[in-house]
């Protein structure tokens, strides 16, 4: 199946190309994070395992999305949101794991998971069930943004930021701030793609059929980059304890 899709892929099929590259990059990152668990202290192994799961789950879904695109030429909205509903809460869990040693409670974990799930469910309703009207996409886009703003506030100014500040670790402070930048800037790419769908405010800026290129690049940068920041924290903290 894969050979058929690659063979049939047109030279200018940038969407198909980014699905293929995204699949390979996520799979490679997952292997890297999993095997690097042996290089860090025990307290950081779970963080790296979560990083491996994030990119591993994404690689599996990118395999499905690549095949779906190759067979139909349609945007794999359903598969993409199944990927996100699993991986985005896991990315939020990383914040909890990084600040757990500073006193983070499980209530923080569940608040981040619920906020990310709310954000994605509302986004899916707005994108998958659109009738082409701006009103529908705006209504559900606003509801989705509430979840996003809660997460952004929590990691920049709220509980996560305060725990990182009290961690007595410059590495964790800088690492959490780096991840917060991913949330603020990296995750902001997705609402832009959302507004480019049919009936969206930016649909005249980017053709809806090309939005998947935008999403694919954002996924690779955010998920792999997120994991690399966590890996950097784990390695630095492990070396400082030797």
Task: Report all structural domains of the chain as residue ranges with CATH numbers, in order of start.
Answer: 2-240 (1.20.1070.10)
Residue 40, by phi and psi: left (phi above 0), alpha (psi -120 to 50) or beta?
A: beta
The predicted-structure confidence for 212-242, as pLDDT tens digits, reads as follows 888 898 899 999 999 999 999 999 988 877 6
The candidate with the shortest Cα–Cα distance to 173, out of 185, 163, 158, is: 163
pLDDT in tens, 168-211: 889 889 989 999 999 999 898 888 777 766 666 566 666 656 78
Among 76, 43, 31, which residue's Cα sits nearest to residue 227?
31
Neighbours of 146 (CB within 10 A): 12
**Which pair of structure tokens corresponds to residue 131?**
């009738």
**CA nearest to 193, candidates 182, 203, 180:** 203
pLDDT of 129 > 50? The answer is yes
Band of residue 136 on the pLDDT scale cut at 50, 70, 90: confident
**Residues 6 or more apart in contact with residue 121 via CB below 8 angstroms:** 85
DSSP-based three-state secondary structure for 131: coil
Q: What are phi and psi of 123, to 5 degrees?
A: -65, -40
């Amino acid at each position: 199946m894969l050979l058929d899709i690659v063979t049939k892929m047109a030279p200018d099929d940038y969407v198909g190309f980014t699905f293929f590259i995204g699949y390979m990059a996520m799979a490679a990152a997952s292997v890297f994070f999993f095997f690097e668990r042996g290089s860090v202290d025990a307290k950081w192994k779970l963080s790296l395992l979560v990083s491996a799961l994030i990119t591993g789950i994404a690689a599996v879904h990118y395999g499905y999305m690549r095949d779906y695109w190759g067979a139909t030429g349609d945007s794999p909205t359903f598969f993409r949101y199944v990927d996100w509903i699993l991986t985005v809460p896991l990315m939020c869990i990383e914040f909890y794991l990084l600040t757990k040693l500073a006193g983070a409670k499980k209530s923080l974990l569940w608040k981040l998971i619920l906020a990310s799930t709310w954000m994605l469910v509302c986004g899916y309703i707005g994108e998958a069930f659109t009738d082409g009207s701006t009103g529908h996409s705006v209504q559900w886009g606003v509801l989705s943004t509430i979840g996003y703003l809660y997460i952004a506030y929590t990691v920049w100014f709220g509980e996560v930021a305060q725990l990182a500040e009290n961690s007595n670790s410059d590495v964790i402070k800088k690492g959490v701030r780096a991840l917060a930048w991913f949330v603020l800037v990296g995750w902001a790419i997705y609402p832009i793609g959302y507004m480019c769908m049919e009936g969206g405010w930016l649909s005249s800026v980017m053709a809806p059929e090309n939005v998947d290129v935008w999403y694919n690049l954002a996924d690779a940068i955010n998920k792999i980059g997120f994991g690399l920041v966590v890996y950097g924290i784990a390695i630095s903290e492990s070396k400082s304890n030797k």
